[in-house]
Amino acid sequence: MKAYKRLVEKYERIHHLSHMQSIVYWDQQAMMPSGSNDARSKAMAEFGVILHEASTDKEIGLLLDDALGEELNDLEKASLKEMKREYTQNTILPSSLVKAQSLAHSKCGHEWVTQRGENDWKGFLPNLEEVVKLAKEEASIRSEVSGLSAYDSLLDLYEPGMRSETLNTIFTDVKTWLPELIQNIIEKQKSESYIKPQGLFDINAQKELGIKVMKHLGFDFNRGRTDISAHPFCGGVAEDVRITTRYDEKDFIQALMGTVHETGHASYEQGLPQDLLGLPVAQARSMGIHESQSLFFEMQMGRSPEFLKSIQPYISDAFGKDKAFELENLIKIYSRVNTSKIRVDADEVTYASHVILRYEIESALINADINTSDIPDIWNEKMKDALGLDLRGNYKNGCMQDVHWTEGLIGYFPSYTLGAMYAAQQFDSVRKAHTNINDSISNGDLSQVKSWLKENIWNKASIYSTDELIKQATGESLNPKYFKAHLENRYLKN
């Protein structure tokens, strides 16, 4: 196993470099003074080249070939397979393109913060056009090597094995029943009164509340931290997880669930197999599976009456005794369905509409069916069709609201709704395995949930394909029926 052991050393070095890159990125988003961005962007671009060179080292290719002839156990074979997949992806792109993308993403992302605030689509467009142009170059190269369509070659980076054909089937079906479901729920909730929390909610109090809930969920603060950024995210590495949240003094509702969401991501990272960390096989299986963990925490569990009961005392402690903070009212607040303009503020029922819209636009962009300048008009048309909202001229709350495209994360958006579907299927399996799960969650005991996730999802990392992972965990491949059933049960039958 000489070749395999040498590969392990190579990938551990790559992991260390990736660790530093992720922390520098987190600092740029959460801590770095704005005047430092030009210098930071250049430094990150140079570091990106170093990481790219380490990841595309020709010796790795030779060692991969040699390792194929060695006697390996099943785990080592799975590890070698993931090394090969990652190496193939990394060696496809020339370093000049990687550097150009790093610069374009950094510039676009940094200026987006100001331009979005100023509703400045005209100023943002040239930056986004450069990002999309480079993404198309990347897709062309990957498509030629993989034989996939341009868009699928990018989708495969985030969802290995997933194809547009499958997504189109899933999303087309969703579009046949979701609009009516949304309207039925909204109509039902018209007769359900609730108290909207009023007043200013101190940011420090919100942060302390978030930390309490993170501890309740089992987040390990010895290996992670929480901060503030313009767009919530989970970053860092398994050994050093960084999550961020954004706060609004007028509304603590979204920030709290945003924290629960990011803690789901972070818990997955902290739960990955410690003895394999540093190797590709120890990474999250796909972004859809990653999203399934955040949505398991936030939607399946976090917005349930049982979980809200367990954290209601924390909310009262943070903001005082008020009818708005009583359990029954919190349940109504966290199950409200509205046609929101903003994806990250959307409820779990309308959320899929936001994702499908973005998927249809980004796939058309990469497949050269539309131009970047067409995005606002197409966005508005699809938003009106899906949710009845008119966003003409409102770029801030429309096509400029997300950070993903600014960072070149094209092919990522489908992961959100795939994650919601995986989460619903997983939680259904948890209920079958633990018939008393509602009582346990109500009493603040999340041990059964955490144990099931650790055994069936976290510990298995990327040892199996996504389909194999879900089959082993739930007994069947991805089945969207659980997602639909979950929405109907929570919002129409209760």
Active site residues: 262
| Of the candidates 291, 320, 398, the residue with the CA atom closest to the CA atom of residue 354 | 398
Report whether 119 contacts 394 (CB < 8 A).
yes
Q: How far apart are CA 356 and CA 209, in angstroms?
A: 33
DSSP three-state, residue 242: strand
Question: Taking Cα atoms as reference points, which of 284, 281, 283, 306 lies closest to residue 294?
Answer: 284
Question: Which residue has tokens 């966003």?
Answer: 391
**In terms of Cα–Cα distance, which of 432, 464, 425 is closest to 300?**
425
Closest by alpha carbon to 335, among 145, 149, 492? 492
Residue 194 backbone class (left: φ over 0; alpha: ψ -120 to 50; beta: rest): beta
Question: ∠ CA 395-400-405 to the nearest 5 degrees?
Answer: 155
Closest CA to 23 of 31, 11, 12: 31
Q: What ranges in 163-202 are assigned the alpha helix state H?
A: 164-189
- Name residues whose C-beta falls within 8 Å of residue 238's C-beta, 6 or more positions apart in sequence: 223, 269, 270, 272, 274, 277, 282
Residue 429's H or E segment, with its range, is helix 414-433
Please enumerate in sequence order all residues whose Cβ is within 8 A of that of 329, keeping only pairs 6 or more positions apart, or say none: 194, 195, 323
For 244, phi then psi, to 5°, come to -130, 155
- DSSP for 379-413 reads HHHHHHHHH----TT--TTTTTS-STGGGT-TT-T
The answer to whether 335 and 490 are in contact (CB under 8 A) is yes
